[in-house]
Amino acid sequence: MRIVLLGAPGSGKGTQSQLLVKAHGVPQVSTGDLLRNAVSKGTELGLRAKAAMDGGKLVDDATVLGMIRERLKLADAAKGFILDGFPRNIAQAEALQTLLAELGTPLESVVLMNVDLKILFKRLTGRRICQDCGRVFNVYTSPPPSPPHGANCVAAPKLIQRPDDKEDVIGERLAVFEALTKPLIPYYRSLGLLRIVDADADVDTVFKGIETAVQSGALGAGARSGGGIRG
């Protein structure tokens, strides 16, 4: 499986990536997670990225492309990958095509996860993350269960909110998606890679939609299928 999950902030890319990792045994490559990791370690790259991330802007292409190049060259990515949050503009998409051609691992599909704007906003303002295990919850759609949700987590986990999930920053992130990331839709459609999934449904239904969409990509067909999936 070599796919891109393309979608606005809060469309469920991270949630679905986790399910795909379990089902297919290929790594999730999330530029957001790689960048947050660098920020929390206080590396030079992290310090450079922090201001852009906190303001809801994109981190510069050179930084992100350098990170992706290193990550996709690791051994586990040879068997496949789920790109989550990358690429995010045309320059990144073109650089990815070149890199994957060099590595001999072309994309099979790009899955666009479509979600209504109002729902995106609610998902993002409601997202909370367990400080102990990193598991993602949502105060509206999937509150943390009690007693503890994980072996190493305390009964009342400390739930944190991402700094960029504050209302004013969410507006900027959605605007950046509209202006810079949406042009990837015609770009990937023209390459015959685009599959569109209705991601306004519950997590399991969305997962089934992605699985169906991805299968049509792996077969190399420009196939169109029902059940909320379009190409």
Q: How far apart are CA 111 and CA 19, in angstroms?
A: 15
Task: Tell me the two tokens of residue 21.
Answer: 């990792």
CA-closest candidate to residue 134, choices 15, 3, 5, 4: 15
Minimum separation from the CB atom of position 103 to ligand AP5 (A): 18
Residue 51: CB minimum distance to ligand AP5, A: 9
Taking CB under 6 A as the criterion, the residue among 173, 196, 209, 216 binding ligand AP5 is 173
User: Which three-class secondary structure state does DSSP give residue 212?
Assistant: helix
> Helices 31-41 and 61-72 sit at what angle, rounded to 10 degrees?
100
CB of 103 or CB of 159, closer to ligand AP5: 159
Distance in Å, CB of 117 to ligand AP5, minimum: 14
Strand-pairing partners, residue 7, are 113
Binding status of residue 157 toward ligand AP5 by CB under 6 A = no
Q: For this structure, is 88 an active site residue?
A: yes
Per CB under 6 A, contacts with ligand AP5 among 50-109 are 52-53, 56-59, 64, 85-88, 92
Q: Determine whether 127 is an active site residue.
A: yes
Q: In what order do the strands lie in the sheet with 229-230?
A: 28-30, 81-84, 2-7, 109-114, 194-198, 229-230
Chain positions contacting ligand AP5, by CB under 6 A:
7, 9-15, 31-32, 35, 52-53, 56-59, 64, 85-88, 92, 123, 126-127, 136, 138, 141-142, 164, 173, 202-203, 206
- Which residues are the active-site residues? 13, 88, 127, 162, 173
